[in-house]
Structure 1
Amino acid sequence: MKLHVGCAMWTYASWQGRLVPHPLPPRERLRAYATWCNAVEGNTTFYATPSRETAESWAAQAPEDFRFLLKLPKPVTHERRLSAEVFTAGGPLHVFFTAIEPLGRNAALWIQLPASFGPGDLPTLAAFLSRVPQNYRYAVEVRHPAFFEDPAAEQRLEKLLTEADAEWVPFDTQVLYETPPSTDAEREAWTKKPRLPRRTRALTRFPVVRYIGRDDSEQTAEGWQPWADITADWLREGRSPTVFIHTPDNDEAPVLARRFHDDVRSRVPELDVLPEPIPAEPPTLF
């Protein structure tokens, strides 16, 4: 029984020398992060597709059961909006799949859609999911309010995703917006993060949750308690969930991800234990 937990990135300036060793060459940074967490969001692939050589380096650094959630490129999801033209030979989707091939089944693909992608666009999503390679898992994040406020639109999307064996990714921002921001990072997050109802239903064996709390760790941990209960239930049902923990500043995100894992393990004691992180500094003799 395994729960995967992770952060929005695997390298971050405030972690260096404090949570992970510093300096580290690029080819060692994911390896160090992977001693803290067993999953990571690949947000950078939204902005630029990595080279195949880079993906080979990621695969070499990641443990066998590590999970990548890689965001599809912006030209595919936001500029061409999943239209049939994205499948053109040599186009951005072809280049993306060629590049990430070394990651194999460690990679799930994250289709984050713009807020303007609404119920009227569902036939496009269905056609897209019917044509993509089936050797990956797919997870879809929608932000159009109708999918959360209109039961008919919600049911249509759930049916489409269930038939495609694709997951609906919730991005839970409720704790972020519960009280006014108190840090600069929280104020910035208020200008950028979606404000949508919390969704907690899994559609597949591999549910994915994105949760953002506050810069106060205790507020963040208090806010995720419903998710700890839900995640424990998923594990008991035989599902294999992945939960990503964010905060506006992300300074303590790896620590919090492990704390979330501990919270779930207190509910499900048979859950596998995470490995101990490598020390940020070499041990001293005294």
Structure 2
Amino acid sequence: MRLHVGCAMWTHARWRGRFLPDQLPPEERLRAYATWCDAVEGNTTFYATPARGTVESWARQTGEDFRFVLKLPKTITHERHLTGAEEELRAFLEAIEPLGPRTHALWVQLPGSFGPADLGTLAAFLRRLPGSYRYAVEVRHRAFFEDERAAGRLEQVLAGAEWVPFDTTALFRSPPTSDAERDAWTKKPRVPRRSRALTDRPIVRYLGRDDEKRTIEGWGFWVGVVTEWLREGRSPTVFIHTPDNADAPALARRFHDEVRARVPELTPLPEPEPVEPLTLF
């Protein structure tokens, strides 16, 4: 029985000397991160398709049970709007091939302008995708969260793909108290929380606060949902975000611990790699 947890990235300036060794070369940071968490969001692939050699390095640094949820490039989802991007998709799939089973799902994040009237385009796009991958779709148009008919139509279109919720309710529950929170208020989607799993591999993105206590209080709902998913035989992946992400690896492990307290048979996470503290010299 597995619950995978992770963060929005595998390296961060504020993790040096805390979660990752201070002087670790870039080509080894993912390996160190993988001792803290066993999943990661592939947000960098949204901005550019990585070189195949880079992806081969990712594969070398992780075990086969590590999960990458890789975002499709924005040229496909935001610029081409899922049409006429066959060459870009082919190049992307070729680049990520070295990951093999580590590619847990390909993540189709759609812009807020993508609404119910565009579902035909999404349906046609999903039909053209190779059956060798799992797919996960994130929508941000409020109609999908507030109109039951629109939500039902989207679920029909997904037909085997997962609907990824991005839960920002903790962030917007009260006014921001840090610069990172104020920035997140202007950029993150403000939509109702959704927790219906469509497949046996649900994926959750949870955004807390820069205050640890508020983050932990806010994820209580998901601890309950994930516990039930596990008891139903599902294998979820949960990504823990905060506006500054300074403590995200430790928070992801704490979330796993809280679920494991309710489901003792859950497979534990690996032991983190020891980290030497930062030094001045």
Where does the alignment leave 5 or more consecutive residues of structure 2 unmatched? none
In the alignment, what sits opposite 2:138?
141
Query: In structure 2, what is the equivalent of residue 194 of structure 1?
Result: 189
Letter in 2 for 1:270: E
Q: Aligned ranges for residues 15-54 of structure 1 at < 5 Å?
A: 15-54=15-54
User: 2:62 aligns to what?
Assistant: 62
The residue type equivalent to 1:128 in the other structure is F
Q: Is the 8 A contact 1:5 1:244 kept in 2?
A: yes
Aligned to 2:257: 262
Q: SS state of the match for residue 170, structure 2?
A: helix
- TM-superposition CA deviations, 1:98-126 (whole Å, max 9, x none): 10000112111100001111111111111
Match of 1:119 in 2: 116
Distance in 1 of aligned mates of 2:27 and 2:162: 31
Shift of 1:252: 0.3
User: Which deviations, in whole Å up to 9, do the C-alpha atoms of 1:12-41 show, x marking residues without a partner?
Assistant: 000011111121112211000000000000
CA distance in 2, matches of 1:33, 1:146: 37
Q: Deviations over 1:108-156 (max 9, x none)?
A: 1100001111111111111111111111110000001110111110000
- The range that moved more, 131-140 or 196-205, is 131-140
Q: CA offset at residue 52 of structure 1?
A: 0.4
Contact 1:105-1:136 within 8 A present in 2 as well? no
Question: C-alpha distance in 1, partners of 2:34/2:9?
Answer: 11
Residue correspondence of structure 1 range 87-236 to structure 2 within 5 A: 87=86, 91-107=87-103, 108-161=105-158, 163=159, 165-236=160-231
Q: CA deviation at 1:215?
A: 0.4
Q: For residue 13 of structure 2, what is the aligned residue in structure 1?
A: 13
Deviations, residues 248-278 of structure 1 (Å, cap 9, x unaligned): 0000000000000001001111001111100
**Alignment correspondent of 2:72:** 72
Stretches of structure 1 that go unaligned for 5 or more consecutive residues are none
Matched position secondary structure for 2:95: helix
C-alpha offsets along residues 220-253 of structure 1, whole Å, 9 cap, x if unaligned? 0111011000001000101010000000000000
Please list every run of at least 4 consecutive aligned residues from structure 1 whose deviation after the TM superposition is greater than 3 angstroms: none
Q: Tell me if the contact between 1:245 and 1:256 (Cα under 8 Å) persists in the aligned partners.
A: yes
Q: TM-score, structure 2 length as denominator?
A: 0.97
**Percent of aligned positions with the same letter in both sequences?**
69
- Contact 2:116-2:150 within 8 A present in 1 as well: yes
- Number of matched pairs: 276
Maintained 8 Å contact 1:105/1:135: no
Do the aligned partners of 1:206 and 1:241 also contact (CA within 8 Å) in 2? yes
Aligned-residue offset at 1:93? 1.0
1:274 & 1:128 partners in 2: Cα distance?
36
- Deviation by residue 1:60-100 (Cα, 9 ceiling, x = unmatched): 101120000110000000001111x111xxx2111111100
